[in-house]
Structure formats: structure tokens, C-alpha cells
Structure 1
Amino acid sequence: MTPALQLIGVEKRFGATAVLRGVDLEVRRGERHALIGPNGAGKSTLFSLIAGEQRANAGRIVLHGDDATRLTSAVLARRGLARSFQTTSVFERLPVHENLRCAVLASLRGGAGLSARWLGSARADARVAELLDALGLAHAAQREAAALSYAEQRALDLGLALAGGAHTLLLDEPTAGMNRAEAARAVDLIRATTAGKTVLLIEHDMDAVFGLADRVSVLVQGRVIATGTPEAIRTDAAVRDAYLGAHFDARFNAPGHMRRAP
């Protein structure tokens, strides 16, 4: 089966500084794939390249069998790729319902004009109602996004990514800034709302990685040094030495730990 996403020899430089040094990565259709690595490894830069926000200096990016290396973020969104960011990107002064409705209307097919979107408003409202239920935000539909808790804003941010019916999602640290209980709920929410979709996520919280990922890739100094199941990555000596550090076993095996990598 054609992979959902392939990166082949992807390189990115900023001036003389090489950030990505020939990244090869394959994400299978329908899998949840975690990308982990130390700060400065190039994870967010890689996401920006995949999402069409920046251009690679070399290599290819393939989305569902089609070359996407030079496509813009707008074109990629129409082709079913959506991204969330480390920080929330909601419209803070709009109600939750209107945040989602704007995202749904922006994604409607059948014409880009205002009249076409207006005619699709009933369909949009039905989709918004589905999202509110799935996100657990129906109770806050008319509340301004700014009035939501941080975890609820992150849930809304996920909803904005889902609103267009994307088949491939890039989630950038979806549990960042959350306490243990909030992160656990976020993991459950992502698992439920992305069923059947392809997910590539950047994450530092190892509880989230082990709770979500089918496979994990480790990016260190701009290169993927290992890919495998969470358990295989957990026991990989090269990963331990290059990223997780000498206290790997203590962090990952202590009862009641958060399993958060450095």
C-alpha cells in the first residue's frame, strides 16, 4: 500500500547551518506515528516543510503517492493535510461554535465563492455539531474561545485541524503545557477523533507517545536515527545513548513517573 507520507533525503539549511541532513521517513496510511528527539533536532522545521510553509533545499516529500515537495500550505490543505501548532491558533474573540464554523466553511468543496459557501451552511452547521460533541465542547459552544481553559483551547485547536475532513494530520506537541490528568484526556481525545486517519505528531511527553503511537521515529541532529514500535525504541541502545540519556531506565520504569524526555 502506498504510504500516506514519505520523506526522501530531505535537507534544510538556514544559511550555512544545516538543520535537516537527509531525512528519510515513511508514515503508513492510518497509523499514528510519533516523531521524538531533543530540542533543536529539527522537528518543527520538518513539520513546516511537510505543511508547505517552508521549502526544502533538497529531497522529496510525497503525500499519498503524489509529489508535494513544492506545494503551498493552501494546496496541501485542499488535498487533505492539516496541521496544529505548539501554541493554540484559535480566534480568541469568537465563540467556539464560530471558530469551528469558519474552519468548516473554509474547507467546503464545490466552489470558493461566498455564495457557494453560504449554500453549504446547513451542512457546515451539522459538521460543527458533530465536532462539538466529539471534542467535548458542546457545553461551551457559545463561549468565547479566550474564556476556555488551556486544555479546552487545545481541544478546539484539534477541532480546527479536523474541521476540513483532513485524512493526514500533523500535531505539534498536542499535550504541551498540560498537567498529567489533562494530558491523559488529550490522548484519549486524539485517539477517538483521529480514528482511521493518519497522524504524525511531535511529542516530548513519553506517556502520550506510548499511549498513542503505533510507531516512533527519533530525530537527532537533523537525521532519523531509528524507527520502530514504541517498545523497540524504548529498548534501542543507540536511541538511549543519543537522546534519552544515561538515566533512561530510571525515568521510564519508575512507578508514577511522567515519562517525559529531556
Structure 2
Amino acid sequence: MTIALRLSGIEKRFGATPVLRGVDLDVRAGERHALIGPNGAGKSTLFSLIAGEQRASAGCIELHGRDVTRLGPPALARRGLARSFQTTSVFARLSVRENLRCAVLASLRGGAGFAARWFGSAQADARAADVLDAIGLAHAAERAAATLSYAEQRALDLGLALAGGGQTLLLDEPTAGMNRAEAARALALIRATTAGKTLLLVEHDMDAVFGLADRVSVLVQGRVIATGTPQAIRADAAVREAYLGADFGAASS
């Protein structure tokens, strides 16, 4: 079993206030792993630590066996880690195609400056076109991102994470703000576009979680209290008491 992402003893304190209290978590290569828990459990903070946007107070984060605890987002992106956000992070005034080209170019190495690569990169054009097709937005390639519907902007946000070529993806509430039909389409898109990649997602929609994830971890008060298959998590009495509700297992079985 190959571990793509490993968290060991992760702690985060803000002043004297502990938010994460020794989180241990293994995400296997190629699996879709969901992180769930009540508001205030520390999920967003943990995501920010993994993405390099904040620093852990203690503990170690490994990506494919390499210690990346102190690395920032650009260095992590070069090592194949990409993140989408709970709110859309697109460049509103740029076209859909230009948004994707930005994401591709940011991931490319080489001595040429960004402007030179922007105007001369056939590789960026080809990868952006591939992602446009994958996320179903080829018809809107030349539209400004601001003119897209909310669901289309979330699809573009996923596209930005994919465009960099990362093999380990962090998705923060990918169905937030969507109705049931939009959420179903978003999940189908995620399932199709992340095949073969490692996925760690935070999500409050339990239908989405149990329909997509291979394994689920439950974070409560800064600690992982359970990890297992969706079926095992449904049946876990401690998880139902702490988060899902006493009737969840029976109602969902």
C-alpha cells in the first residue's frame, strides 16, 4: 500500500488555543478520502496546513514519503499538490481559457519569464484545451469567468486544480451552495476527472461523501476519532453520537 499523504501528530495552536490536537491521517495513493466533522472541528485549518498556507505548531506532513511540513504553496504545487477552495478562486475578468492557461503556466518549469511563456507556450494551450473538455466548459472557453453560473465557476475551480497536473488534490466543499441536481453533476464531474488521482475532500453533504469516498475520516474537536469505509463510518456509534446523529446509520442503511 502506497501512502500519498501522511499526517503525523499534527498540532495547531493560535496563541494558547489548541485547534488541532495530534492529528494522524494516511491518505492512500489513488483513493478518494473524505474528511468530515462538525463546524469548528478544525477541518479548514488542517487543509490550510496541508496546502502550505499556514504552519503546523507541531507534527509532520509527508507527500509521497518526503517531508513537506515547512513548504509553501508554490513548492507544494511543483511536487504535485493542488487545491480548490470552498469559494471560487477564478480570475473573474479573464476568459475561461485564460484562467486555465494561468494555472498551467504557473506549474511549468523553465527559465523563460511568465510573459514569454504566456504568448509562446503550445504546451499550455494543449493542456488548457484538454481540461476545458474534461470539465465540460469548451463551449464557454472565450467567456469571462464572471459570466459563468455558480456551478460552472465551481467546475472551473476544479479545472484550475487539474490544470497544474497535480496528482494529489485537495477539494474544499466542492458542492457548497449547489442544489441537489447541481451537486449530482459536480460529483459526476469530480469522479470522472480525478480517476487515478489521490483526492482528499472536505464536504458537509453526507450523500456526496458516502457516494464518492473510498474512505472517510471524522475530525471532532481537533482529533481524528475514526477512519474507515463509508459503511464502517455509518455504523460507528461514536461517530453517530459526535456528528452524524443517532438515527443516521439506521436511516441510511
- Normalised by the length of structure 2, the TM-score is 0.96
Quick check: 1:131 aligned with 2:137?
no
What do you get for the CA RMSD once the two structures are aligned? Answer: 1.4
SS at match of 1:133: helix
Structure 2 residue 161 is matched with structure 1 residue 161: yes
The aligned counterpart of 1:214 is 214
User: Does the alignment pair 1:174 with 2:174?
Assistant: yes
Match of 2:79 in 1: 79
1:108–1:120: 8 Å Cα contact kept in structure 2?
no
Counterpart CA distance in 2 for 1:51 and 1:163 is: 17
Aligned to 2:61: 61
Q: 1:37 to 1:78 in 2, by over 3 A?
A: same
Deviation at 1:119, TM superposition (A): 7.5
The AA in structure 1 aligned to 2:142 is Q
Q: Is 2:26 the partner of 1:30? A: no
Deviations 1:133-172 (A, max 9, x none): 1000011111111110100000000000111100100000
Q: Tell me the matched-pair count.
A: 253
1:21 aligns with 2:17: no
Cα deviation, 1:21-74, whole Å, max 9, x if unaligned, reads: 000000000000000000000000000000111011111001000001111111
Aligned pair 1:41/2:19, yes or no?
no
Counterpart of 2:142 in structure 1 is: 142
- Structure 2: which 5+ runs fail to align? none
Deviation at 1:212, TM superposition (A): 1.1
Please state if 1:239 is matched with 2:239.
yes
1:11–1:129 distance in 2 versus 1, CA, 3 Å: same
Contact 2:168-2:199 within 8 A present in 1 as well: yes
Q: Distance in 1 between matches of 2:171 and 2:53?
A: 15
**C-alpha distance in 2 between matches for 1:56 and 1:83:** 18
Give distance in 1, aligned partners of 2:120 and 2:78: 17
Task: Describe the shift of the 1:236–1:138 C-alpha distance in structure 2 as closer, same or farther (beyond 3 A).
Answer: same
Measure the CA separation in 1 of the matches of 2:215 and 2:111.
38
SS at match of 2:183: helix
Aligned partner of 1:89 in structure 2 is: 89
1:203 CA drift (Å):
0.4
The one-letter code of the counterpart of 2:136 is G
Specify whether residues 57 and 215 from structure 1 end up closer, same or farther in structure 2 by C-alpha distance, changes over 3 A only: same
Separation in structure 2 between the aligned mates of residue 13 and residue 91 of structure 1, nearest angstrom: 33
CA contact (8 A) 2:33 2:199 kept: yes
Q: Is the 8 A contact 1:10 1:22 kept in 2?
A: yes
Percent identity over the alignment is 83
Letter matched to residue 20 of structure 1: L
Equivalent position of 1:187 in the other structure: 187
Residue 112 of structure 1: how far off its partner (Å): 5.3
Read off the aligned partner of 2:37 and give its amino acid letter: G
Q: Counterparts of 1:78 and 1:12 in 2: how far apart (Å)?
A: 25
Provide the rounded CA distance (Å) in 2 between the counterparts of 1:112 and 1:211: 44
Please state how far the C-alpha of 1:247 moved relative to its aligned partner: 3.6
In 2, distance between residues paired with 1:112 and 1:246?
Answer: 58
Separation in 1 of the partners of 2:98 and 2:219?
38
Higher mean C-alpha displacement, 242-251 vs 56-65? 242-251
What residue number does 2:201 align with?
201
SS in 1 for 2:94: coil
Distance 1:19 1:168, change over 3 A: same
- Give 1:116 deviation, angstroms: 6.0
CA contact (8 A) 1:2 1:65 kept: no
